[in-house]
Structure 1
Amino acid sequence: MSTIDKAMAVLSAFTIDTPELGVTEISRALDLNKVVVHRLLRELEANGMIEQDPDSKRYRLGYEVLKLATRKLSSANLLRTAIPHLDALREETGESVHLSIKRGEAILRLYIVQTRHFLRYSADVGDESPIHCTAAGKILLAYSNPDTWRELIARSIARFGERVPTDIDALCDELESLRSGKVAVDDEVFQSHLRAFACPVFDSHGRVTAAVSCGGISERVPRKRFPAMIAAIENSCATISRELGLCKPD
């Protein structure tokens, strides 16, 4: 059993019926040496996953476990709230709709509803794409810490390859404009013959938690369609954000 397996076993030993345990109890339950259990508990405690009662000296789960669970529930709530509106956005525009979150120098697709058209950009849930040259990526990057922009752009280019020449100064200027509420546009940059638009989704604290992008083959998305598609995406994101608890003054 690896160290990670042993640590997970220790965490799993705490239940609703046994919220607090001592070293001996954990050692017996897991058939592990008490010295090993004590070392694992100390390491888990140092990382906030376990805490020790100062009086009883028994251990219980720490607040870091709660924080991780809260993040998981937040993602589930995001999907549960967003999916009906993403499906409706596909019906309104006729084009593919993606829900993505930021993961380092990449975007991770949480949900995709594909266009009914035969010609489409192929992508799957769980796929990652560059953060610096996709519409959703630029939105998520724009609302991250500006001090990290250049580093993340460089890492994105290094990981995915530079699809087109990237003027980092110009991109940073674009990111500044996106923070003021503008819609991100990918006009055949990430993929030739693909046009996409993206807007942010805000949580109840006013933080950007995801990006919704919508786009399709450039022949189906001529420039005269831009205003209608942008308006549809903005309305969809505003509705999702409200349902997630965002309150904005009139």
Structure 2
Amino acid sequence: MGTITKALEMLNFFSREKPEIGLGEFVRLTGRDKATVHRHLGELEENGFLEQLPVSRAYRLGPAILRLAAVRETTHPARRLLRPIVSQLADDIGELVHVSLLQGAQLSPVFHADPKCYGTQVHFDVAEMLPLHATSSGQAVLAFAAPELCERVLGGPLPRYTDETTTDRESLLAMVERARETGIGKAERTFDEEVTSESIALFDAAGQPVGALAVIVPAVRASEEKWSQIRPLLIDAARAATHSLGGVLPPSHPLK
């Protein structure tokens, strides 16, 4: 892992629940020595990716994040285009819907909507990267991704998130193949032991997967009858999402 990667990786520790992080906590989180962490923090602060609070001396995300996010959304809009589709689907089905974009060998959340129609709700962490092997979104993406990405994911360490997380290579390949045959990824208690989800990949103009649209339902009400009602709406929304991004479904896609 290069120096730049080590420094930028530290930004991923921030979340809604952890908006400010001190030097000592960064040392604990990274497992690196204090001098190295302090140097990386100084470089990130100097370039505007972090700013240090004057009283607590803790760090929070800096203004460079806002500037770059604005540039990305202006030149290659995603959130603005996908927000109405995600929100409408969530309202139509009464469950949490989220969209994520491919970032290396993980998925980065872009937008989510939850109409909060039920007492039992799904907790969704907007800062948490989604693993490809343990989520329905990951299955949907791997089903149509280049073989190199699949090998990269399945050839690396595969952490377990719940007792139901599959880490066996052949079992994962079978799950990806089912997603390729149906066009829909399905995960039951594999990333969060209390939820089940179904997802459909989103594609770019070349028909390559760039992300996924997912519906997440608490396991206590995730009956097959409910999913049979959700799927047609999810399929229509995923088609609309791919179209809004200027993409097309690949010729081999079963939902084309």
TM range (shorter): 0.5 to 0.7
Secondary structure of the residue aligned to 2:156 is: helix
Q: Residues of 2 paired with 1:75 and 1:159: CA distance?
A: 37
Kept in 1, the 8 Å contact 2:203–2:248? The answer is: no
Kept in 1, the 8 Å contact 2:98–2:112? The answer is: yes
Kept in 2, the 8 Å contact 1:112–1:124? The answer is: no
Report the alpha carbon displacement of residue 99 of structure 1 after superposing the two structures with TM: 0.7
Report the alpha carbon displacement of residue 89 of structure 1 after superposing the two structures with TM: 0.5
Worse-superposed segment, 88-97 or 154-163: 154-163
Q: CA RMSD in A?
A: 3.1
Report the alpha carbon displacement of residue 110 of structure 1 after superposing the two structures with TM: 1.2
Q: Cα distance 1:239–1:226, how it changes in 2: closer, same or farther (>3 A)?
A: same
Secondary structure of the residue aligned to 1:143 is: coil
User: For each residue in 1:82-131, what CA deviation from the matched residue of structure 2 results, as whole angstroms up to 9, or x when unmatched?
Assistant: 11010001011111011112223322111111240332221232311221
Q: Residues of 1 paired with 2:160 and 2:190: CA distance?
A: 17
Tell me the amino acid that sits aligned with residue 86 of structure 2.
L
**What does residue 100 of structure 1 align with?**
100
1:43-58 equivalences in 2 (<5 Å)? none
Kept in 1, the 8 Å contact 2:161–2:190? The answer is: no
Q: Residues of 2 paired with 1:171 and 1:75: CA distance?
A: 36
Report the alpha carbon displacement of residue 237 of structure 1 after superposing the two structures with TM: 0.6
Report the alpha carbon displacement of residue 142 of structure 1 after superposing the two structures with TM: 2.4
Identity %: 20
Larger Rg: 1
Secondary structure of the residue aligned to 2:158 is: helix
Report the alpha carbon displacement of residue 165 of structure 1 after superposing the two structures with TM: 4.4
**What does residue 166 of structure 1 align with?**
167
Secondary structure of the residue aligned to 2:187 is: strand
Kept in 1, the 8 Å contact 2:166–2:172? The answer is: no
Report the alpha carbon displacement of residue 247 of structure 1 after superposing the two structures with TM: 5.2
Q: Residues of 2 paired with 1:135 and 1:232: CA distance?
A: 17
**What does residue 111 of structure 2 align with?**
111
Q: Does residue 86 of the first structure (1) align with residue 86 of the second (2)?
A: yes
Kept in 2, the 8 Å contact 1:105–1:155? The answer is: no
Tell me the amino acid that sits aligned with residue 176 of structure 1.
E
Q: Residues of 1 paired with 2:238 and 2:188: CA distance?
A: 20
Tell me the amino acid that sits aligned with residue 223 of structure 1.
E
Q: Cα distance 1:161–1:197, how it changes in 2: closer, same or farther (>3 A)?
A: closer
Q: Does residue 198 of the first structure (1) align with residue 199 of the second (2)?
A: yes
Tell me the amino acid that sits aligned with residue 199 of structure 1.
I
Q: Cα distance 1:156–1:121, how it changes in 2: closer, same or farther (>3 A)?
A: farther
TM-score, length of structure 2 as denominator length: 0.61
Q: Residues of 2 paired with 1:154 and 1:247: CA distance?
A: 29
